[in-house]
Structure 1
Amino acid sequence: MEVDFSRIKVIGFDADDTLWVNETYFREAEEEFTSLLDQYETKNKIDQELFRTEIDNLSLYGYGIKSFTLSMIESALDISNNKVSQTTLSEILNLGKRMIAHPVELLDDVEEVLKALESKYRLIVLTKGDLLDQERKLDRSGLSKYFHHVEVLSDKKEMNYKNLLEHLEISVDEFLMVGNSLKSDVLPILAIGAQAVHVPFHTTWAHEEVDPSSHTNNHLTLSGIRDLLKYL
């Protein structure tokens, strides 16, 4: 599609699954979780119960590994009718800790793109999740030096973006958001009058999936983040 980024001065980047791998580790943890509880239910039922619990808990715990770990513990208790062993609960806690301690794996070409853009644009990180965990990942990534500002939002809805851009004194017609989630990184941005680029990741959490027929395709979709340099 035709795009005009000539007015863009500030580029916002999502973090998880845009700058570095994230969702893959959640899927791996879910596999381990279902194995720990396979004596109580089928894999499909355990997956459904965990997802339901995660969604129910979003308003309480928000996003991130800590929230996910609490939801795994709650699901384990529910699925087992409170019969799950202390050993299994300890293994679930350790599963969450291993996720937090996991090395940061940058996605292909991310640093090259940031290096190319930093001298021409003001770059910021706009992500959601647990503040401590996201700060830790950004530090481990070695990417902090490229960003003028980092913001960890409780959610990524229109009002979250609108309030933040106003606070940072960024005009919507000068802002471009880059991310892997249509639901969180693209559609809310388009709704407030800014521009967005979708760079899909091969794994998407069900909560972030969007029906393609529910929106107009008035944004740029790229096969990889390197392709940004063709337009900026």
Structure 2
Amino acid sequence: MIDAIGLDADDTLWENETFFRVTEAQFAALLADHCDPDTVASRLYETERRNLQRYGYGIKGFMLSMVQTAIELTDARIDGCAIARILELGQDMLAHPVHLIEGVEDALADLDGRRLFLITKGDLMDQERKIAASGLAERFHAVEILVDKTPEAYARILSRHGVAPDRFMMAGNSMRSDVLPVVELGGHGVFIPHDLTWLAEQAEASDHPRLHHLDAIADLPQLVARVEDGA
């Protein structure tokens, strides 16, 4: 029996990485006189990875990483107008409407009556804004916003809500954050790929009976039924 089902938010319930990619392209265009787009993208990614321990996940850390990358790639010659434009790009992201992924509302309707947890990570204010704007908050028994998704973080959530790991299922687009930590903990991890998952969230899938692959979130209710039937 599955007692609780966790769902990731960004790029599982609603689009997110798409807006990062659009902003990255605009950022590369801003630095076109200094570097080619591939170099800008590579250096920005390296800076983001280094800064995760300082700023965590989310748009605000991304903004700061863009500023740092621009300073480094221009040998500190970038002007104030360009810095202002970078901040404007980030602010636009923070105000972007929430677009639900196709099939989300139907899947949640089919799972109505189940104990659902929304488990996401990143900047608290931005995640709370998106959750409220999504109109989905009332569908969830609990909402958990984490600094990072580790086996220990999932274990704390399950302990707090009285859910045994082997009776928990977590679904999301990140193999690294949504799937493998839950499988390691003893639960079921469900990988639902998104076309634009960030490189830092990608990981090799293990061959494990509690690791499941779906093409779309619309297939999640049927998977839950199959797992409970022992199929």
Query: Aligned to 1:40, what secondary structure does the other structure show?
Result: coil
Query: Aligned to 1:200, what secondary structure does the other structure show?
Result: coil
Q: CA deviation at 1:217?
A: 4.7
Alignment partners' CA distance in 1, 2:153 and 2:185? 10
Say if 2:108 is the partner of 1:114: yes
Q: Contact (CA 8 Å) 2:66, 2:86: kept in 1 or not?
A: yes
Residue 62 of structure 2: which of 68, 72, 78 is its match?
A: 68
Unmatched tracts of structure 1, length 5 or more = 1-6
Residue 220 of structure 1: which of 212, 216, 223 is its match?
A: 212
Query: Aligned to 2:15, what secondary structure does the other structure show?
Result: coil
Q: Contact (CA 8 Å) 2:175, 2:204: kept in 1 or not?
A: no
Aligned to 1:175: 168
Aligned to 2:229: none
Q: TM-score, normalised by structure 2?
A: 0.94
Q: CA deviation at 1:211?
A: 3.2
Q: Contact (CA 8 Å) 2:121, 2:146: kept in 1 or not?
A: yes
Alignment partners' CA distance in 2, 1:140 and 1:193? 33
Q: Contact (CA 8 Å) 2:175, 2:203: kept in 1 or not?
A: yes
Say if 2:186 is the partner of 1:193: yes
1:48-197 mapped onto 2 (5 Å cutoff): 48-119=42-113, 121-197=114-190
Structure 1 segments, 4+ long, off by >6 Å, are: none
Q: RMSD over aligned Cα, in angstroms?
A: 1.0
Matched-pair identity in %: 42
Query: Aligned to 2:215, what secondary structure does the other structure show?
Result: coil
Q: TM-score, normalised by structure 1?
A: 0.93
Q: Contact (CA 8 Å) 2:174, 2:201: kept in 1 or not?
A: yes
Unmatched tracts of structure 2, length 5 or more = 225-231
Between stretches 57-66 and 158-167, larger displacement belongs to: 158-167
Between stretches 217-226 and 138-147, larger displacement belongs to: 217-226
Between stretches 38-47 and 60-69, larger displacement belongs to: 38-47
Alignment partners' CA distance in 2, 1:108 and 1:203? 15
Q: CA deviation at 1:30?
A: 0.5
Aligned to 2:4: 10
Number of aligned pairs?
223
Alignment partners' CA distance in 2, 1:29 and 1:223? 27
